[in-house]
Amino acid sequence: MSAKLIDGKAIAATIRGEIKAEVDAMKAKTGKVPGLAAVLVGERKDSQTYVRMKKRACEEVGITSFGYDLPADISQEDLLDVVRELNNNPDVHGILVQLPLPDHIDDEEILGAISLEKDVDGFHPLNIGRLSMKRRDPLFVPCTPRGCIELLDRSGVTIEGKNAVVLGRSNIVGLPVAMLLLHRNATVTICHSRTQNLPEVVRGADIVIAAVGRAQMVQADWLKPGATVIDVGVNAVDDPTAKKGYRLVGDVDFDAAKEVAGMITPVPGGVGPMTIAMLLKNTLDSAKRTYGLA
C-alpha cells in the first residue's frame, strides 16, 4: 500500500477526548453541561441506529441527551410543537431532527423552525446561506462536511491553492463541503450525475471528496498520483462470507486506489466516525456561546 491511511476512527476518538475535557471544564466553571435533543420520527431501523449511536457518544463525553421518539403518523403541527418546545428549553443547546422524515412531513419547514442558535446539524437555510457567502460565518457547519475538513487539517493536508474535486452536490454533503473548501481557498470543481468526462475531471484533483452513494465508482486510474482521497460514501454490497450477508464499501475502489493516492480514508472507519464527533463539537460550541465561553 503506497497511500497513508487517514484513520477517522482514531482522529474522532482524539476529538471526543478534547470535547470531554472542555465539557468537564464547563461543568466546573458554570455547573452546566451541553444538551442535545435527538428527535426521531417513525421506526426506520437505520435512523434508530444513528440516533442510538449519537446518544451513546453524548454520554461518553458528558453531554446530556434528550430523546424524542415520535410516531410515524405525527402531524406537521405536532412535530413543529416539539421543535418549538425544544427551542425554548434552556438546557437544550442543540436540536437534531433525524432525516429522512416521513413523506407527509414538510422537512424544509421543520428544519427551518429549529432555532438558528440550536441548529447543530447546520441545515437551517440561513446557516447554509451564510456558508455560501464570502466572509459570512454560519453559526454551525453541517457535520459530515466539517468532518471532512477536520480530517484534511489533522492529516496535515494543505487546502489553500489546491485543486479540489467534489463528487456530489447534495445539501447534506457535496454542496456544503465544496463551500468549505472554497472558504479555505481551494479551487473547487463540483461534479454530479450530468458531469461529462468525470474521470478526466477527477484526474486534475489534488483533493478528491467522493459523496455520490455509488459503490466503488471512483477507479484508481481516475486519480492523480499522490492525491488525497476522502471517501464519504457508505454503500452496502452483497457478501455471502459476511455475517450479515453484506459489507459496507465507499464510493472509491479502495484496494486499487490506495496504490495511487497519497492519502486515503477507509470505509468504514474514515468519515463516518467524524460525523458524530462534529455533532458533539457543534453542540459544545453552542453551549459555549450560551454561557459566554466561546
Which chain residues interact with ligand NDP by CB under 6 A? 144, 167-170, 172-174, 191-195, 198, 211-214, 232-235, 271-272, 275
Nearest alpha-carbon partner for 144 in 37, 252, 269, 276: 276
Decide whether 62 or 270 has the Cβ nearer to ligand NDP: 270
Decide whether 220 or 234 has the Cβ nearer to ligand NDP: 234
Min separation Cβ 274 and ligand NDP, Å: 7
- The answer to whether residue 221 is catalytic is no
State the cell numbers at 240: 455471502
Decide whether 33 or 181 has the Cβ nearer to ligand NDP: 181
Residue 184: phi and psi, rounded to 5, are -90, 15
Decide whether 53 or 293 has the Cβ nearer to ligand NDP: 53
**Of 7, 119, 121, 285, which is the active-site residue?**
121
Q: Which residue do the cell numbers 458531469 mark?
A: 195
Min separation Cβ 16 and ligand NDP, Å: 15
- The answer to whether residue 54 is catalytic is yes
**Of 98, 224, 231, 258, which is the active-site residue?**
98
- The answer to whether residue 98 is catalytic is yes
Min separation Cβ 73 and ligand NDP, Å: 25
**Of 54, 118, 224, 281, which is the active-site residue?**
54
Min separation Cβ 75 and ligand NDP, Å: 26
Catalytic residues: 54, 98, 121
